[in-house]
Structure 1
Amino acid sequence: MGNVRSLPNKMDELAVLTRHQREYRECSLLLFTETWLTALTPDTAAELDGFTLLRADRSKESGKRKGGGLAVFVNDRWCNPGHITVKEQHCCKDIELLAVSMRPYYLPREFTHALVVVVYVPPSANADAACDVLLSAVSRLQTQHPDALLLISGDFNHASPSSSLPKFTQYVTCHTRDNKTLDLFYANTKEAYHSLPLPPLGRADHNLVHLLPVYKTLVHRQPAVTRTVKK
C-alpha cells in the first residue's frame, strides 16, 4: 500500500516487481493513492498481469483538475475476479474514497468476506469533514456486512481518523514520508498484521508499506471423525 504520485509511469517497474519479487507477487491486494489516472486514461495503461484493477479517478466534484485517484489491484490467485464488487465511491474536496467487496478463495471462518476501503485526504482538506465522510461509509458497510473483515488503507495527511474508529486497530508503525507516518492501515480485528517499509515506486516521495498477516483464526474446524458401524 502507499502513495505512488502517478501510476502510469511506474507500471513497468510494478510489473517487474510482481513478476520477480515475492513480496509483490504474493500480495493479495495492492492499494494505491494518488494514481493520477483520469477519464482519458484507459485501463490498459494500468493493467497488471495476474491482478484485477478497480479504480476511482478524481472527479470534478473535488474542485481540482488533476492529481488524486485511487486504485485497488486484487490478486487473481487470491480472489476470483467474478467475486469482486465496488460498493461505494465518493469524491469531494475533502476526501476521495473507494470501497470494494471481495469473496476470496479462503478467509478465516469468522469472516464472511472482505471489504477494503481506500482513502486519500488532500493536504488542503478539512480533516473533520473527511473523517465524517469516512465514518459514514464505514458505518454503512458494517451495518450491511456485520461479519466481514473490513480494511481501511490510505494517505490521511493531517487527518486523524483513529478517534472515529475506536473498534479498529491501526497497523502501520513505520515512517511513510520522511519522518512522518501519513499512510495508515486499519482493520476491524486485533493482532492481524505486521508492517514493514518498502522503497517508493519510482520517484514517489512516499515509502510503500508491506502488511504481513499474522492473524490466528478464532473459529476452528471440528476434527473429522470416522465411525465404524458393526454389522
Structure 2
Amino acid sequence: MKEVGDTGRESGDPDEGREGRRGGLPNLPCILLTNAHSIGNKLEDLRNRIRNDEEFQRCDLIFITETWVKKEHIENNKAVINVEGYEEKHFPRDTDRTKKKKGGGLGVLIKNGGELTKRDEKQTPCYQLVAFSYEARNQPPLYFILVYIQKEGKNKKNGNWEITKQGIEQSYRKGLNNGGPVFILGDFNWYKGFDNNDTFHQYVTCRTRKNNNWNGRTEYTTLDKCYGNVPEAYSSQCRPPLRSRKTESDHCITLLTPEHTTCTHDKWWLTSRRNLTSSQVLVKAVTTRTSLLLLLPLLRLVRVL
C-alpha cells in the first residue's frame, strides 16, 4: 500500500490534472458499486473492463458486495482479482458470526495513489459491514461504510431491521470523527431505514436489480444505494452487470460520478451537526472557515492566470 500523497501515476495518465478541471480544489473519488453474486466465475469480465473500459479506468474505488470469497482464497495475502494498478481488500463472510455458510463477502479495489484503512467491521446474521478511512492526492479525508444487508433482515418480527439500523448508525457516528464526509453504500436489499432521514442524501437514482416475478414479468428496482452527508455529491448511471460465460449478476454496475461538490464548504457538516455536541460543531466550523481563508489567495491567483 502506498503512502498518502504518493500518486503512483506516471506522466500522461488520463486522470492527471483532473483536480485542475474543478478549479484546483479537492474532488471526491469516482466510484463503481456492484453486487457480483460471486466474482469467481466473473473474473475475466471484471479484469477486461478494468483494463479496457475508460469508465472503469477513471474510477478510484470499486466496491463489491456478495463476492463469495472465502478465507482460504486470500491466505498469505493472495490476490483474487489481481489487476495491475489496483490494490484489493477482501472481507469474507464469517460463518460463525453470521450463521451462514455460503455467499456474502465484501471487497474493495483501490487505485494506486489512494490509501484505504479499515476502521470498523461487523458481521451478524442480519448484515455485514466494513468501514474505511480513505485519503488520496488533492482529496479531503473521507469515510466509507460498505454494507451488505441480508434478505432475512426484512423479517420485522425478529427485530432485524432495528439491529441493522443500530449497527450502521454506530459506525456512521465513528466516521464523523474522521474529520470529513461520510458515505454508506452497498446492497441494502429491501431495507429502507435511511430513505426518509434528513441526515442522509441518497445518490443512486437508477434501477440496479432485475427481478423476475412469478407471473413471468421482469421488474427493476433500486437495491444498491449510496448515502452520504454531502448534498448532491454524486450522480449515478447504471452499466451492464458482471458476466460469466454462462450467467450474469442480477445487479447492474452503478457508476457514481462526483458532482461539482468539493467538500471544502460548510454544507457537508451542516447536515451532520445534529449528531454532534455543540463543542464539536464549533471546532468543525472554525476548521472549515480557516481552510477557506487559506484557499482564497490561491483562488485569486487562479483567476489572474
Q: TM-score, normalised by structure 2?
A: 0.67
- The alpha-carbon distance between structure 1 residues 47 and 166, as it changes in their structure 2 partners (threshold 3 A), is farther
Q: Percent of counterpart pairs with the same letter?
A: 28
Q: Between Structure 1 and Structure 2, which shows a larger proportion of helix residues?
A: 2
Deviation by residue 1:30-68 (Cα, 9 ceiling, x = unmatched): 011000001111232232221111221100200000100
Query: Structure 2 matches for 1:23-38, cutoff 5 A?
Result: 23-38=55-70
Deviation by residue 1:143-193 (Cα, 9 ceiling, x = unmatched): x22x21211111111211315853121000011112111110012101111
Q: How far apart, in 2, do the equivalents of 1:130 and 1:34 lie?
A: 17
Q: How far apart, in 1, do the equivalents of 2:260 and 2:40 lie?
A: 34
* Residue number among 100, 118, 126 corresponding to 2:146 in the alignment: 118
- On the 8 A contact 1:131/1:159 being kept in 2, the answer is no
Q: Which has the larger radius of gyration?
A: 2
| Corresponding residue for residue 135 of structure 2 | 103
| Corresponding residue for residue 258 of structure 2 | 213
Structure 1 runs (4+) greater than 6 angstroms displaced: none
Deviation by residue 1:127-149 (Cα, 9 ceiling, x = unmatched): 2221111111111221x22x212
For this pair of structures, how many residues does the alignment match?
A: 216
Structure 2 stretches of 5 or more lacking a match? Answer: 1-32, 154-159, 211-219, 266-291
Alignment pair present for 1:71 and 2:107: yes
| Corresponding residue for residue 229 of structure 1 | none
Q: TM-score, normalised by structure 1?
A: 0.87
| Corresponding residue for residue 124 of structure 2 | 92
- The alpha-carbon distance between structure 1 residues 163 and 176, as it changes in their structure 2 partners (threshold 3 A), is closer
Structure 1 stretches of 5 or more lacking a match? Answer: 227-231
| Corresponding residue for residue 90 of structure 2 | 55
- On the 8 A contact 1:119/1:152 being kept in 2, the answer is yes
C-alpha RMSD of the superposition = 1.8
* Residue number among 153, 168, 174 corresponding to 1:140 in the alignment: 174
- The alpha-carbon distance between structure 1 residues 48 and 161, as it changes in their structure 2 partners (threshold 3 A), is farther
